[in-house]
Amino acid sequence: MATHAPTHAHTDHGHGHHAPPKPLWYWWKRAIVWTISGALAGIALVFFFRWAFGFSNLWEPESYYTAIASLAGIGFVIGIGCFDWWWAYLRGKHVDFEDHSLHGAKTWRDYLRPNTDHKVIGIQYMVAVFTFFVVGGLLAELVRLELAQPGFQIADGETYNGYFSAHATVMIFGFVIPSFAGLANYVLPVMIGAKDMAFPRLNALSFWLLLPAGAMLAIAPFVGAFSAGWTAYPPLAVQGTTGQTLFEVAVQFAGASSIATALNFLVTIMTMRAPGMTVWRMPLLVWANATTSGLVVFGTPFIAGSQFMTLFDRVVGTNFFNAANGGDVIMYQHVFWFYSHPAVYIMMLPGFGIISEVLSTFSRKPIFGYRALAFSTVAIALLGFGVWAHHMFVSGMASWLRIPMMITTIIIAVPTGVKIFSWLGTIWNGKIHLKTPMIWALGFIFTFVIGGLSGVFLGTLTTDIALTDTYFVVAHIHYVFFGGSVFTIFAGTYYWFPKMTGRMYSETLGKWHFWLTFIGFNGTFFPQHWLGAHGMPRRVADYDERFADLNLIISLFSLFMVAGTLVFFYNMIWSWRSGPKAPWNPWRGRSLEWLVSSPPSLFNFDAVPQVVGGPYQYGIPGARHAVVYAGDHLGGGELTETELRTVLVVANRTVASSSLLDQVKARAEEGYWRFTIVVPAKGDDHRAADRRLQVALAVLAEAGIDASGTVEDLGPLEAVKRILEEEPAHEVMLATLPTGQSEWMQQDMIDRVRKASGIAVTRVIVRGDDARTAVRSAAVQRIAVIANDTLGDAGLVSALQARADERPLAAVVLCPLSLDGPGWTDDADKVRDEATGRTRAVIQRLQDSGIQAHGEVIDGDPVAAAKIARSDYKVDTVLVCSYRRDSSEELLGQVRAAAGDTAVEHVVVDAEAPAAPSGA
Amino acid sequence: MAAEHTATVSSHGDVAAPGRGAGISQGMLAMILFIGSEAMLFASFFTAYFMVRYNIAENDWPPIKDLATGERFEPPVLGTGVNTAFLVFSSFTVWYAEHRLKHGDRKGLERGLIVTMLLGATFLAVQINEYVHLGFTPQDQAYGAAFYTLTGFHGLHVFVGLTLLWICYLRIKRAHDFTPQWATPLGAASLYWHFVDVVWVFLYVVVYLI
Ligand code: HEM
Ligand SMILES: [Cu+2]
């Protein structure tokens, strides 16, 4: 088997004996050939069997479709190359157990072929599952379109059933379950200090098995959608069409994929933890995934079994569920829910893990009740196997089962409650940083509690009899799946986005995404409690007139979520391509994935790290989670205790100055240092402070230096104390203006910080103009603003602020002044003075809002200014501003010509309205 | 790099893969978990079987096949009993093969594997023969469905087990794999074989005997 030796240090993997990498089409050509061959083999096989067994009806279509789908799917994974290594092995060839020829990605092409690197697989998963998310989302909008009014709008009953069935199935098997596999694939091995998963080739197979499953589910609606819901109860499922066949085969593929991943996680967690990582030092995400994997390994075979039986009833003509021939329909529900109740925890526990990570990091506090959280995860999983029949209270099952199942169901709320209280305890009195992942996590707690409460109504037999199969259940499902699982997926995606892509996402857009989704979500699903309680049945295309208004409102609210999703995708794609570079540890996290670069190197660690403490010890003086070793490029393989090698940089207005940043770079050269920058902005504009900080962080990230930072509403002394409580530092670097101008120096800050912290304080003197001038760095976009009359307009400043929030920038303000007459008259002087005044004022405003800016008045027209911007200031972008009434296409054309290959954009400022960038 | 690489890695199967925190190799661990998963698959079919038998048929079992004659389904207890003995015996032979390897007796290992595979193949052949002469089909009532699904899935697992053993055999012949110190794939294959065997004993008792 593919065994990885964790003690084995890789810095570089230039295996001379590997053949050069194969081009992309090699894999895909094979995949196509094998898929088609698989389909043909399926036809041949069924034909042969039907003929050999003397069936009168040789062409029974469903049996052919079953075989075609199964064998084409298997053909695909063989063809794409998942079995190449094993094929060599089983022919008795000499194979390399540590064959890394398919490991790692250099270009995007390496993401489109089988890859054994867990990080590549993690990203492959995330891209695939978000694609399925879009498919599922579109289907959901079709459902809402149909339900916007009573009667039949876009579909008849059967088609409508197809929509919601496909929606649920794609979301559950194509999105939620595999997205947790994807996130954990990326971060879990790093979190436990391993260089990969235990079985990298099996890992690749898991991913590629998912694609046929997704493809079958996506094709299903076109060949007669399955309409029995994601639960696929017989007898309806047995009567269904070809889509139902594809559903049944797809579930087997998705199930096989899950089981393979789960085995892999379990073995990885059990055998590949870094030395020192005892089970009580594992991050809670690891606990969550270990437990979930247990559920998958022991639960998923039951859904496989249930689908095999339905398939046999449909295709082979057996009588499992045919009461006339001694079959038992209710048996299906028992077998199905014995998996599918645990499955709801398969879709929730990893999310719980993510939330624990995020809450603790952004509250800067140790997680409250670590062991309680770990034990409750296990307890939920174990209890989860004993509650399945709460889905069947009215099914006609043995009635003695009802009360016990009700009791176990209610008991399960206890460990869930333990979690909620532990999380609240974690954020209680914490120093909360409302970054996007944190907002999603807080939103999750809110919505999930509502979902848990509606669960108690459903779990109580007496109320469930009234509420079952109504929209109340739909509300419940969505509060726990969407408000629960999906919120955690978003939290995790934002949280690890910097680690996975090496880029920062846009906070502003992240927050837009959250609020649009949050409002849309509650607007869509909260009213459904009411609908259900008043008797609107689920899974029916038409409904009573009295529900009409509310349903229309619901459908409209669902559009908010569509908008939010668009923002999300824009943010992800844009940031991935051109977002600011991410530091190693943007959130000042403690667990191992934050102690390596973003993204981690090919085998994650230069050498196996040593774990020395728990992962969440924020604010505990001297506490450390792990020790990592520095690579040769960072001053040699000697032991470095990362968190003691932290330099705490304290600076406010001076934080983005070149004097300070050069000093930081010089220190970084000396060895394995990391930097925490704190901006004590008590009484100052926090947005402005944050913009400056972002410039500094971007410059350092660009230079490959591990730095993270935070703005604190404290004075310098308190800020230093506060940060040192959270993480010990080796020294403090204090940047101030020259003595005469510096308030901090007047307050004798150097000495006071030294006394308070007990560690060395280095002072960096920054001249005033240095603090105001932009650093030259690829990370900082340089923008020339060419404007005259509009300079005084607030619209211009806010347009620049919005840009600065997107990515760090520095501005050069150029005020072109072409005087018609002679330049020495009093009039001309006056005009020039006014222009200078306007320029100065706008520069001051920009500086005040945290944007480094300077500028000048230019004798000449905008074209001349554009030339200067390009040749003297070497800017990346030229912004031409004008009032709407003045804008002239002709002038713009000339400016474009003068600017050469520098991008030119036009900002129209309406005298009344705020500025809006215009593409036209 | 390449030299460092081979130093820690079992490309010739002579160095155990180091695992941390567990006194068991990763391959064996994975096989144990996989077997757990497989056991649950059988559990789902046994659930179906028991529900049909005790819930619907109320233990009037085996059910009546033909209402006209009152004839009941009848699994061939005796023939299959002999077949069961073959399979049980093959568990011992595979154990013997592994045991020989521990003593460095590669010939004994090969012989043990061949005998095991022959027994397994015999079991499958007898089982197929049984299907042909059984006198009822999967379509005959829920009984037929449960019977064929259970025995059929088990047969499939025997086939998979045979394939695993066959691969081990090929590795021994062609790649001179496995040493007394390191034989994880062999160990995993034989564990799987024991599992298949245990399932069958349970199945035989439940479906054929009681
Ligand atoms: C306190 C915790 C919970 C309780 C007491 C609870 C209880 C229930 C009950 C009794 C039902 C059946 C309703 C009916 O069909 O009449 C149900 C349905 C459902 N629950 Fe929960 N639940 C809880 C948490 C969760 C969680 C965490 C998830 C998933 C993340 C979840 C997902 C679902 C789903 C998907 C259904 C609908 C299944 C269908 O399509 O019929 N529940 N819940
Ligand atoms: Cu449930």
Interface confidence, given as ipTM, is: 0.89
Q: Which two tokens stand for residue A733?
A: 């670097």
Q: Give me the pLDDT at residue A884, please.
A: 66
Beta carbon of A486 within 6 Å of any ligand 1 atom: no
Q: Which CATH architecture best describes the domain A124-578? A: Up-down Bundle (1.20)
Report if pTM > 0.90: no
Query: What angle is formed at CA A88 by the lines to CA A82 and CA A90, rounded to 5 degrees?
Result: 100
Question: Does residue B128 belong to the interface with chain A, where contact is any CB pair within 8 Å?
Answer: no
Nearest CA to CA, how far is B11 from chain A (Å)?
A: 5
Signed CA dihedral, A151, A154, A160, A165: sign only: negative
Rounded average pLDDT over A500-524: 95
Q: Give me the pLDDT at residue A823, please.
A: 65
Question: Does residue B191 belong to the interface with chain A, where contact is any CB pair within 8 Å?
Answer: no
Q: Are A416 and A355 in contact (CB under 8 A)?
A: no
Q: Tell me: pLDDT of A488 over 80.
A: yes
Can you tell me the distance from the alpha carbon of A571 to that of A133, in angstroms, rounded to the nearest whole number? 16
Q: Tell me: pLDDT of A893 over 70.
A: yes
Q: Give me the pLDDT at residue A886, please.
A: 61
Residues near A759 by Cβ (< 8 Å), separated by ≥ 6?
A: A729, A730, A731, A732
Structural domain includes residue B16: no
Can you tell me the distance from the alpha carbon of A640 to that of A629, in angstroms, rounded to the nearest whole number? 6
Question: Does residue A96 belong to the interface with chain B, where contact is any CB pair within 8 Å?
Answer: yes
- Give the model confidence (pLDDT) of A866-877 as tens digits: 888 888 888 888
If we measure between CA atoms, which residue out of A522, A530, A741 comes closest to residue A653?
Answer: A741
**List of chain B residues whose C-beta atoms are within 8 Å of the C-beta of residue A271:** 19-22, 26, 29
Spell out the domain ranges in chain A. 29-90, 124-578, 645-772, 781-918
Q: Tell me: pLDDT of A838 over 90.
A: no
Q: Give me the pLDDT at residue A749, please.
A: 86
Can you tell me the distance from the alpha carbon of A1 to that of B27, in angstroms, rounded to the nearest whole number? 6
- Compare A294 and A892 and report the one with higher pLDDT: A294
Q: Which two tokens stand for residue A874?
A: 């070497």
Beta carbon of A74 within 6 Å of any ligand 1 atom: no
Residue written as token pair 């844009």: A574
Beta carbon of A473 within 6 Å of any ligand 1 atom: yes
Can you tell me the distance from the alpha carbon of A712 to that of A677, in angstroms, rounded to the nearest whole number? 10
- Inter-chain touch B142–A338, beta carbons under 8 Å: no
**List of chain B residues whose C-beta atoms are within 8 Å of the C-beta of residue A259:** 37
Q: Tell me: pLDDT of A482 over 90.
A: yes
Q: Which residues of A685-705 are buried (b: 16+ CB within 10 A; e: fewer)?
A: eeebbbbbbbbbbbbbbbbeb
- Compare B14 and A266 and report the one with higher pLDDT: A266
Helix (H, G, I), strand (E, B) or coil at A568: helix
Residue written as token pair 């209710």: A330
Query: What is the phi/psi pair of residue A758, to 5°?
Result: 75, 10
Question: Does residue B52 belong to the interface with chain A, where contact is any CB pair within 8 Å?
Answer: yes
**One-letter identity of residue A455:** G
Question: Does residue A606 belong to the interface with chain B, where contact is any CB pair within 8 Å?
Answer: no
Q: Which two tokens stand for residue B184?
A: 């994880």
Ligand 1 pocket: which of A333, A341, A476 to mutate (most atoms <8 Å of CB)? A476
- Inter-chain touch A304–B11, beta carbons under 8 Å: no
Q: How confident is the model at residue A919 (pLDDT cuts 50, 70, 90)?
A: very low
Q: Give me the pLDDT at residue A822, please.
A: 65
Q: Are A725 and A690 in contact (CB under 8 A)?
A: no
Q: Are A76 and A211 in contact (CB under 8 A)?
A: yes
For ion ligand 2, residues whose CB falls within 5 Å: A 341
Can you tell me the distance from the alpha carbon of A258 to that of A347, in angstroms, rounded to the nearest whole number? 12
Q: How confident is the model at residue A677 (pLDDT cuts 50, 70, 90)?
A: very high
- What ranges in A654-739 are assigned the alpha helix state H? 658-669, 686-702, 716-726
What CA–CA distances, in Å, run from A691 to A3, A331, A505, A808? 47, 62, 15, 7
Beta carbon of A455 within 6 Å of any ligand 1 atom: yes
- Compare A630 and A655 and report the one with higher pLDDT: A655
User: Which ligand has its closest atom nearest to the C-alpha of A342?
Assistant: 2
User: Which atom belonging to ligand 1 lies closest to the Cα atom of A229?
Assistant: 40
Ligand 1 pocket: which of A346, A473, A481, A538 to mutate (most atoms <8 Å of CB)? A473
What CATH number does residue B93 fall under?
1.20.120.80
Q: Tell me: pLDDT of A683 over 80.
A: yes
Query: What angle is formed at CA A121 by the lines to CA A117 and CA A125, rounded to 5 degrees?
Result: 175
Q: Are A846 and A811 in contact (CB under 8 A)?
A: yes
A139 backbone φψ class: left, alpha, beta (φ>0; ψ -120 to 50): alpha
Q: Tell me: pLDDT of A269 over 90.
A: yes
**What's the alpha-carbon Rg for chain A, to the nearest Å?**
31
Residues near A140 by Cβ (< 8 Å), separated by ≥ 6?
A: A167, A171, A558
Structural domain includes residue B4: no
Q: Tell me: pLDDT of A14 over 80.
A: no
Question: Does residue B69 belong to the interface with chain A, where contact is any CB pair within 8 Å?
Answer: no
Rounded average pLDDT over B174-202: 92
Domain A645-772 - what CATH class? Answer: alpha beta
Q: What is the DSSP letter of A775?
A: P
Structural domain includes residue B7: no
Can you tell me the distance from the alpha carbon of B139 to that of B115, in angstroms, rounded to the nearest whole number? 36
Structural domain includes residue B5: no
Structural domain includes residue B12: no
Q: Give me the pLDDT at residue A13, please.
A: 42
If we measure between CA atoms, which residue out of A468, A566, A512 comes closest to residue A141?
Answer: A566
pLDDT averaged over every residue in chain A: 87
Q: Tell me: pLDDT of A916 over 50.
A: no
- Give the model confidence (pLDDT) of A378-421 as tens digits: 999 999 999 999 999 998 888 899 999 999 999 998 999 999 99
- Inter-chain touch B52–A328, beta carbons under 8 Å: yes
Nearest by CB: A263 against B9, B22, B34: B34
Q: Are A65 and A81 in contact (CB under 8 A)?
A: no
Nearest CA to CA, how far is B191 from chain A (Å)?
A: 15
Rounded average pLDDT over A113-138: 94
Beta carbon of A391 within 6 Å of any ligand 1 atom: yes
Q: What is the DSSP letter of B72?
A: E
If we measure between CA atoms, which residue out of A238, A252, A250, A249 comes closest to residue A314?
Answer: A238
Q: Give me the pLDDT at residue A547, please.
A: 94
Can you tell me the distance from the alpha carbon of A884 to that of A868, in angstroms, rounded to the nearest whole number? 25
**One-letter identity of residue A89:** Y
Can you tell me the distance from the alpha carbon of A268 to that of A115, in angstroms, rounded to the nearest whole number? 18
- Inter-chain touch A326–B44, beta carbons under 8 Å: no
- Give the model confidence (pLDDT) of A684-740 as tens digits: 888 899 999 999 998 988 888 888 888 988 888 999 988 887 777 888 999 988 888
Question: Does residue A297 belong to the interface with chain B, where contact is any CB pair within 8 Å?
Answer: yes
- Give the model confidence (pLDDT) of A341-350 as tens digits: 999 999 999 9
Nearest by CB: B44 against A264, A266, A301: A301
Q: Are A466 and A540 in contact (CB under 8 A)?
A: no
If we measure between CA atoms, which residue out of A239, A233, A243, A254 comes closest to residue A304?
Answer: A254
Contacts 24+ apart (CB under 8 A), A221-224: A221/A139, A221/A162, A221/A163, A221/A166, A224/A162
d(CA A348, ligand 2 centre) in Å: 12
What CA–CA distances, in Å, run from A160 to A246, A248, A558? 18, 19, 18
Strand (E) or helix (H) holding A799: helix A794-806
Q: Tell me: pLDDT of A913 over 70.
A: no
**What's the alpha-carbon Rg for chain B, to the nearest Å?**
21
- Inter-chain touch A326–B63, beta carbons under 8 Å: yes
Structural domain includes residue B2: no
Q: What is the DSSP letter of B89?
A: H
Per mean pLDDT, which range of A304-313, A571-580, A830-839, B146-155 is the poorest? A830-839
Q: How confident is the model at residue A747 (pLDDT cuts 50, 70, 90)?
A: confident
Q: How confident is the model at residue A576 (pLDDT cuts 50, 70, 90)?
A: very high
User: Cis (ω within 30 of 0) for the bond into A189?
Assistant: no
List beta partners, residue A735.
A764
Q: What is the DSSP letter of A315?
A: I
β-strand pairing of A781-786 with A877-883: parallel
- Give the model confidence (pLDDT) of B31-63 as tens digits: 999 999 999 999 999 999 999 998 888 888 888
- What ranges in A95-196 are assigned the alpha helix state H? 118-147, 157-169, 177-191
If we measure between CA atoms, which residue out of A914, A912, A882 comes closest to residue A904?
Answer: A882
Q: Give me the pLDDT at residue A595, please.
A: 85
**List of chain B residues whose C-beta atoms are within 8 Å of the C-beta of residue A309:** 45, 48, 145, 149
Ligand 1 pocket: which of A458, A470, A487 to mutate (most atoms <8 Å of CB)? A458
Q: Give me the pLDDT at residue B14, please.
A: 36
Beta carbon of A477 within 6 Å of any ligand 1 atom: yes
Cβ neighbours, 10 Å, residue A405: 21
Q: Give me the pLDDT at residue A638, please.
A: 46
Protein residue with least CA distance to atom 8, ligand 1: A455
Structural domain includes residue B27: no
Dmax (CA) of chain B: 78
**One-letter identity of residue A214:** G
Ligand 1 pocket: which of A230, A392, A469, A480 to mutate (most atoms <8 Å of CB)? A480
Rounded average pLDDT over B130-158: 91
Q: Give me the pLDDT at residue A771, please.
A: 84
d(CA A216, ligand 1 centre) in Å: 27
A141 backbone φψ class: left, alpha, beta (φ>0; ψ -120 to 50): alpha
Q: Give me the pLDDT at residue A911, please.
A: 58
Residue written as token pair 């021994």: B172
Q: Give me the pLDDT at residue B190, please.
A: 94
Helices vs strands, H then E, count in chain B? 6, 2
Can you tell me the distance from the alpha carbon of B59 to that of A222, in angstroms, rounded to the nearest whole number? 44
Q: Are B8 and B16 in contact (CB under 8 A)?
A: no
Can you tell me the distance from the alpha carbon of A188 to that of A177, in angstroms, rounded to the nearest whole number? 16
Domain A781-918 - what CATH class? Answer: alpha beta
Q: What is the edge-to-edge ordering of all strands in the sheet holding A646-650?
A: A707-712, A674-680, A646-650, A731-736, A760-765
Please determine whether the domains at A124-578 and A645-772 fall in the same fold group of CATH: no
Can you tell me the distance from the alpha carbon of B179 to that of B169, in angstroms, rounded to the nearest whole number? 13
**One-letter identity of residue A517:** T
Can you tell me the distance from the alpha carbon of A210 to that of A520, in angstroms, rounded to the nearest whole number? 30
Nearest by CB: A326 against B26, B57, B149: B57
Helix (H, G, I), strand (E, B) or coil at A388: helix
Question: Does residue B156 belong to the interface with chain A, where contact is any CB pair within 8 Å?
Answer: no
Question: Does residue B175 belong to the interface with chain A, where contact is any CB pair within 8 Å?
Answer: yes
List beta partners, residue A763.
A734
Can you tell me the distance from the alpha carbon of A848 to that of A842, in angstroms, rounded to the nearest whole number? 10
Q: How confident is the model at residue A210 (pLDDT cuts 50, 70, 90)?
A: very high
Q: Tell me: pLDDT of A573 over 50.
A: yes
Chain B, window 107-126: residues with a beta carbon less than 8 angstroms from a chain A beta carbon: none
Dmax (CA) of chain A: 110
- Inter-chain touch B44–A319, beta carbons under 8 Å: no
Q: Tell me: pLDDT of A804 over 60.
A: yes
Cβ neighbours, 10 Å, residue A822: 8
Structural domain boundaries enclosing B58: 35-209
User: Which ligand has its closest atom nearest to the C-alpha of A228?
Assistant: 1
Signed CA dihedral, A518, A521, A523, A529: sign only: negative
**List of chain A residues whose C-beta atoms are within 8 Å of the C-beta of residue B150:** none
Rounded average pLDDT over A853-867: 85
Residues near A93 by Cβ (< 8 Å), separated by ≥ 6?
A: B174, B175
Q: Are A711 and A685 in contact (CB under 8 A)?
A: no
Per mean pLDDT, which range of A133-137, A898-902, B123-127 is the poorest? A898-902
Q: How confident is the model at residue A491 (pLDDT cuts 50, 70, 90)?
A: very high
List beta partners, residue A679.
A711
